[in-house]
C-alpha cells in the first residue's frame, strides 16, 4: 500500500499542476480583457494591461488645432491648445520636431521647426505653435512627444459601447435569438428522448441511429439548402423572410441531434422500477414524463442548455444568413465584427465590446456548471 501511495503522489501533483496551468491560461486573458476595458483609451494604445497600476512613459503622436483656430498676437500667428484629450492627465517629459526623434527637446523648451515655425510644449501638455506667416491647410500639424501617463480607470468605454455604438440594441437582439433557440429544442428533444428511451414502436433503433448520424453533418453543408427550403415554405404561407422565426427554427434543427442524444442517454439510465411502478398505478406516458422524468432530468437539461446557449450566443454565420445585417436585427457578434472593421485602432471600444459579449455566457455557465458533468456522464455506462 505504501508503494502505491508513493506512485500515486507524483501523478496527483502532475494532475494538479496541469489543471492549474489550464485555469491560468483561461483566467489571465479574461482578466486582461476586463482591465483593458476599464482603462483610459490613451493608455490602452501605448501600454499593456499588466502596467495598469503603474505610471507608464510612452512616445505619443498628437495633432495641433487646425489653422482656422490661429490668432494673431504681436505680429505672429499663434495656435495653442493641449496635447492631452479632455479628462486625460499626464506629464510631458520631452518632445520633438520629427517623428524620427520625439525626444529632441525637453518640456518647456522652444523648438524651431524645419519651416521656421516655433513649437513649445509644457509639462502639463499645453502647447504653443507660432510663425511669422499665417498657417495654411485644413488639418493641424502633428506633434511628437513623450509623456508619463498615470493609471486611470473609467467606465466611459462601456457607456460609449452601450449607447453610441449601438451595442445595446444588438444585445437585445442576441437575447431575442438565443433564449427561444435554447428553450425550443430542449422541449422538443425531451419528448423525443423519452419516446426513444422508454416507448416501444417499430423503427426505434433505426430512428436513433439516424439522429446520431446527423451529429456529423457539417452545418455549412446544410445551411443554404435549409434557407432555400425556409424561403419556399415562407412564400407559400406568406411568411416574410429574414425574421426571428427563421433563425429559431434553424437553431432548433441544428441543435436537436445533440439534444436528443444527450437526453436519451440520461433518461434511459433512470431506474426502470420507477417507470413500472408508475404504470402499475395507472399513470400514462405523458404523466410519467411530466411528473417523474422531467424533474429527474434537470442535470441533463442544464448540460444541454449550456452548450446550446453558448453556441447560439456566439454564432454569427446562421444569424447573418437568416437575419441579415440590418441594424435593427444585427446580433452582438455581428456588431462586434462591424466594430473590428471600422474601429480597428480604437482598442477601448473593442475591449469593452468583447467583454460585454462574454458576460452573459459566463453567468449562464457558472449558474449551471454544477449540472454539466452529471448531465454529460449520465448514461455512459448503462443504456436503455
Range from 25-34, 172-181, 195-204, 213-222 carrying the lowest mean pLDDT: 213-222
Angle, CA of 252, 172 and 183, to the nearest 5°: 25
Q: Sorting pLDDT into bands at 50, 70 and 90, what band is 50?
A: confident
Q: Are 223 and 322 in contact (CB under 8 A)?
A: no
Least confident of 32-36, 177-181, 238-242: 238-242
Asked if residue 26 and residue 74 are part of one domain, the reply reads no
Residue 379 has pLDDT above 50, yes or no: no
Q: Within this chain, do residues 46 and 63 fall inside the same structural domain, yes or no?
A: no
Residue in this structure with the C-alpha cell 428511451, named with its chain if needed? 197
- Each residue of 306-322: pLDDT tens digit? 889 989 998 888 888 88
Please indicate, yes or no, whether residues 164 and 145 belong to a single structural domain of this protein.
no
Give the count of domains, the chain.
Answer: 3
Distances 66 to 88, 99, 122, 131, 311 between C-alpha atoms, Å: 21, 19, 19, 14, 49
The verdict on residue 25 lying in a domain is yes
Please indicate whether residue 35 or residue 220 has the higher confidence score (pLDDT): 35
On whether residue 221 sits in a domain, the answer given is yes
Looking at 150, 180, 196, which one is the last position of a domain? 150
Q: Has residue 251 been placed in a domain?
A: yes
199 lies in the same domain as 260 = yes
Domain co-membership, 22 together with 80: no
pLDDT value for 1: 47
Q: pLDDT exceeding 70 applies to what percent of the chain? A: 88
Flag the least confident range among 101-110, 176-185, 366-375: 366-375
Q: Are residues 114 and 252 in the same domain?
A: no
Average pLDDT of the residues in 75-82: 89
Average pLDDT, the chain: 82
Model confidence over 93-125: pLDDT tens digits? 889 877 778 888 898 889 888 888 899 999 888
pTM: 0.68
The CATH number of the domain holding residue 285 is 1.10.3720.10
Residues 263 and 347 in one domain: yes
Are both 134 and 268 inside the same structural domain?
no
For residue 178, the enclosing domain spans 159-377
pLDDT tens, residue by residue, 250-285: 899 888 998 998 888 888 888 888 888 888 888 888
Task: Mark whether 211 and 327 lie in a shared domain.
Answer: yes
Number of H helices, E strands in the chain: 14, 9
Domain membership of residue 383 (yes or no) is: no
Edge-to-edge strand list for the sheet holding 76-82: 71-73, 76-82, 126-131, 118-121, 110-112
Split at pLDDT 50, 70, 90, the class of 180 is very high
Residue 264: phi, psi to the nearest 5? Answer: -65, -45
Contact between 289 and 192 under an 8 Å Cβ cutoff? The reply is no
C-alpha span between 102 and 260 (Å, rounded): 64
Question: What DSSP string runs through 102-138?
Answer: TTSEETT-EEEPTTS-EEEE-TTSEEEEEESS---SS
The last residue of one of the domains, among 120, 150, 180, is: 150
384 belongs to a structural domain: no
Among 99, 126, 150, the domain-final residue is 150
Same domain, 126 and 229: no
Q: Specify whether 124 is located in the same domain as 6.
A: no
Given pLDDT bands bounded at 50, 70 and 90, which one contains residue 382? Answer: very low
Amino acid at each position: 500500500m505504501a508503494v502505491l501511495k508513493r506512485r500515486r503522489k507524483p501523478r496527483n501533483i502532475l494532475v494538479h499542476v496541469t489543471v492549474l496551468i489550464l485555469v491560468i491560461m483561461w483566467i489571465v486573458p479574461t482578466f486582461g480583457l476586463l482591465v483593458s476595458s476599464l482603462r483610459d483609451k490613451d493608455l490602452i494604445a501605448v501600454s499593456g494591461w499588466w502596467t495598469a497600476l503603474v505610471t507608464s512613459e510612452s512616445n505619443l503622436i498628437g495633432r495641433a488645432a487646425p489653422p482656422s483656430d490661429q490668432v494673431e498676437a504681436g505680429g505672429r500667428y499663434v495656435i495653442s491648445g493641449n496635447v492631452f484629450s479632455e479628462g486625460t492627465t499626464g506629464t510631458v517629459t520631452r518632445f520633438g520636431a520629427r517623428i524620427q526623434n520625439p525626444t529632441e527637446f525637453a518640456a518647456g523648451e522652444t523648438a524651431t521647426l524645419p519651416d521656421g515655425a516655433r513649437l513649445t510644449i509644457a509639462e502639463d501638455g499645453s502647447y504653443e505653435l507660432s510663425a511669422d506667416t499665417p498657417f495654411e491647410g485644413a488639418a493641424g500639424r502633428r506633434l511628437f512627444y513623450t509623456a508619463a501617463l498615470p493609471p486611470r480607470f473609467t467606465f466611459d468605454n462601456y457607456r460609449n459601447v452601450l449607447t453610441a455604438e449601438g451595442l445595446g440594441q444588438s444585445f437585445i437582439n442576441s437575447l431575442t435569438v438565443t433564449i427561444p433557440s435554447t428553450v425550443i429544442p430542449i422541449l422538443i428533444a425531451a419528448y423525443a428522448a423519452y419516446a426513444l428511451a422508454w416507448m416501444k414502436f417499430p423503427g426505434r433503433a433505426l430512428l436513433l441511429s439516424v439522429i446520431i448520424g446527423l451529429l456529423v453533418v457539417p452545418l455549412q453543408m446544410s445551411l443554404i439548402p435549409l434557407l432555400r427550403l425556409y424561403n419556399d415554405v415562407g412564400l407559400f404561407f406568406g411568411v416574410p423572410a429574414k425574421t426571428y422565426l427563421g433563425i429559431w427554427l434553424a437553431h432548433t434543427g441544428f441543435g436537436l441531434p445533440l439534444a436528443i442524444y444527450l437526453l436519451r442517454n440520461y433518461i434511459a439510465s433512470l431506474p426502470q422500477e420507477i417507470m413500472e411502478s408508475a404504470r402499475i398505478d395507472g399513470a400514462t406516458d405523458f404523466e410519467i414524463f411530466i411528473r417523474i422524468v422531467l424533474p429527474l432530468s434537470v442535470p441533463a437539461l442544464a448540460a444541454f442548455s449550456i452548450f446550446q446557449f453558448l453556441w447560439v450566443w456566439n454564432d454569427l454565420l446562421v444569424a447573418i444568413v437568416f437575419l441579415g445585417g440590418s441594424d435593427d436585427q444585427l446580433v452582438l457578434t455581428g456588431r462586434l465584427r462591424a466594430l473590428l472593421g471600422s474601429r480597428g485602432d480604437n482598442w477601448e471600444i473593442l475591449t469593452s465590446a468583447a467583454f460585454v459579449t462574454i458576460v452573459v455566457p459566463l453567468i449562464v455557465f457558472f449558474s449551471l456548471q454544477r449540472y454539466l458533468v452529471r448531465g454529460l456522464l449520465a448514461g455512459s455506462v448503462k443504456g436503455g
